A and B are shown apart, each in its own frame.
Chain A
Amino acid sequence: MSATDAAGPAAVPAPPAPPRAPAPDGSPGAGRRTARRRAGRAGQYLALLCYLVFLAFPLLWLVSTAFKSPQELGSVHPTWLPRHPTLDNFRTAFDEQPLLHSALNSLLIAGISAVVSVAVAVPAAYAMVRFRSVVSRAGTGWILVSQMFPLVLVIIPLFMVLKNLHLIDSRLGLGLVYVVWTLPFALWMLQGYVRAVPVSLEEAAAIDGCSRARALRSVVLPLLTPGLVATLMFSFVTAWNEFFFGLVLLKSPEKQTMSVILTHFLGAEGAADLGPLAAASVLATLPSLLFFALLQKRLVGGMMTGAVKG
């Protein structure tokens, strides 16, 4: 039986395929590859878009909630955009709590602790990478172990130490705690970046008569820029978001941080003043976003520099 017989008398010949765009090398296989590559790229973009939407959802929902009226917040069919947008939640949040003052407290404490944490971590990470020994290996292991301690296990001893130093209810005391708390991870992060800097560059500098300290300052540090920025961001955001130490160590209302102030919109058994809480939370995310926006260029620029030099 021929192919025509199998198709039957009613079979209509398929229309001719549309002419393909000529492949760069002119071959039909190359055209298929290009089409497949384009489809793959479109799929990647789609997946990336889905991921971004997934990541952005809480933030977008938070912003939307901040502008909704109490009646809209109580709706069983919530809408993406507030039907009757209102600034009342922001007004109430500012009226009820010292948001601006607490934001300044957080900014000060988180900013200083991030800078100090990175300043301490850089030479330490350098020493741990370049001077390998039993001590440095043990130190690295301890860093990992220290990350496993729950906050509650250290809070009482820490509280007593700070009390003896007269640093309870002190922003300086809380900043010191944040430095200690973020330092292990900052060290861990920076070790990876230091390890990525070729030793040969320092050796070349040494041949040119550079001391080790000068090599660290003039050769290693510029190459560490993306690592420093990333670590700074991590330390800042960790300190900015931290709640429990701030709650326990700061008592005076004028010293409390933003994360502590946010809980003042919560009642017993999960009750919450949702609108003002969302409005205050939106404000609380702004400094972190601004910080990222300002440093992101530096982070990417630094990475590119490293890539070219590498």
Chain B
Amino acid sequence: MRRRTLLTGAAAAAAAAGSGSLLSACGSSAGGGAPRLDFLSLAWQTESVKANKDLVAQWNARHPEVQVRYVQGSWDDVHDQLLTSFEGGAAPDIIHDEGVDLTDFGSGGYLADLTGLLPAALKSRIPQSTWDTARFDGALYGVPFLQEPKVLLANRTLLAGAGVRLPDAAHPWTWQEFEDICRELSHHGGGSADRYGTAWPMSSPVSLTLNLALTDGGRILYKDAGGDRTEVRFGSADSAFAELVRRQVGTDRSAPSSALALGGGDLLPGFFAGRYAMLPLGFSYRQQVQQQAPAHFDWVTLPLPVGQGAPDGGRAQGVSPQTLSVAKSCKHQEAAVEFIDFMTQTPHLVRLAQGDWMPPTGTAALRDPSLTTTKLGWDTGMAVSKYLTASPALSMRGYPEWSDKIATPALQQYYSGAISLDSLRGKLVRDGNRVFERYRG
């Protein structure tokens, strides 16, 4: 992540040196004069890549006048790759990325404002609250098409053995119930006999902490009424979720401290072995569970617990959706938007969602029978998707720097027990506000 800051600086320096003159429009010609648009896709799972490629082939067959070339991208270093391409004037025309990147790229002048380009049908397909995840400073920089809530992947056998009530989207657990159940499911016999109610994969602690703070009515990052000034606050609602994790790891020992440095996928072997009864993971992790779990392993997808006293009954959680954007340098922006419209038509959205094991953003797509089935927990994901809202990280200029330099080390220290809540608050707020102050105006 340090690389991102360095590269941003390098990009700014290059831009200041007059590199703008080098920018040229994208959208080359496909041999016989028909425009060819490059579509950078970050799909990576087998079904998802196939779905994307099939849809591109369908488009090309129906639209000989505008050909689209599928370009496989990679989540690894995509921010740096795009930033370099933008600066050098060789960016792809249609870009698949994550919502949190749109702030940097939009304010940098690299992405087209889609506000006046979107067809009415596409606008109405996606709820207004979801559009807000890709809009800032009055401009719309991407079409959100997939979103990923956090859910609980649970070992049904262990839960049944403890005689606990299984929650559903209509009747989720509260965080308090969750803590009680985790304590009940934990036992410590020493060594490999230890079992934990849950495990918190905190290799990237900032987004998880921000997004789940919403369940208790906090958001940590606030904007003033004018939308210009970002302020960090860490009151009791903001810190409730962080305190819960610290309690589970440090006091109750119902979550292992060893998991704090790991990613979600690293915890799956322990989950299959019964070492962790429940894992709070992204909805798409079901694919890995389904693929890797032993034959006898009985698992279930549960909604995330809810906070008390928060709007929406504490069901809201923040997300940074996957988006489709158009490069500002693209010569054929209208054709690019038509392609995005094609990709996000309801049946296509459903197919992309199935391929990525994630909920789509489209209202009709969310109701599709293939996605509301109880099989593999799809219904839970669709039900909780109604409450997803924009992550507090979205549209905050300076967020990457605050996250890398201030919040990540501070939260890692706090979760591991190295610093107190007061100390964490001091770092996040005092040091954090200094960072955001530099991005004002």
Contact = CB atoms under 8 A, between A and B. Distances in A.
A253 interface: yes
Given A71-B294, A75-B294, 5 more contacts: A74-B292, A75-B272, A160-B88, A263-B76, A266-B44
A160 B75 CA distance: 24
B14 A160 contact: yes
Interface string B164-205: 000000000000000000000000000000000000000110
B44 A265 contact: yes
A157 B273 contact: no
Interface stretch (B214-222, B237-245, B261-269, B309-317): B261-269
A247 B74 contact: yes
B80 A248 contact: yes
The size bracket of the interface on B is: 35 or more
Contacts, number: 130
B70 A77 contact: no
A269 interface: yes
Interface stretch (A105-113, A134-142, A270-278, A293-301): A270-278
B292 A156 contact: no
Contact of A71 (B6, B203, B292): B292
Interface stretch (A22-30, A147-155, A283-291): A147-155
Contacts of A73: 292
A223 interface: no
Contacts of B74: 247, 260, 263-264, 266
Contacts of A256: 72
Interface stretch (B104-112, B153-161, B283-291, B404-412): B283-291
A76 B270 CA distance: 6
Contact of B22 (A70, A160, A253): A160
Given A248-B81, A251-B38, A270-B265, A159 B45 contact: no
A71 B293 contact: yes
Contacts of B6: 150, 152-153
20 contacts: A70-B292, A73-B292, A74-B291, A76-B270, A152-B6, A152-B10, A153-B10, A155-B7, A155-B84, A159-B85, A160-B87, A248-B80, A251-B38, A251-B90, A253-B71, A264-B74, A268-B42, A270-B263, A271-B265, A271-B285
B77 interface: yes
A163 B90 contact: yes
A99 interface: no
Contact of B98 (A78, A159, A268): A268
Nearest to A249: B84
A267 interface: yes
Contact of B85 (A244, A248, A269, A274): A248
Interface of B: 3, 6-7, 10-11, 14, 19, 22, 38, 42, 44-46, 49, 70-72, 74-77, 80-81, 84-85, 87-90, 92, 98, 203-204, 263-266, 268-270, 272-273, 275, 282, 284-285, 288, 291-295
Contacts of B72: 253, 256, 264
A74 B272 contact: yes
Nearest to B288: A271
B46 A92 contact: yes
A169 interface: yes
A223 to B, nearest CB: 42
Contact of A152 (B3, B90, B92): B3
Contact of A160 (B19, B38, B49): B19
A155 B10 contact: yes
A262 B46 CA distance: 14
Contacts of B89: 163
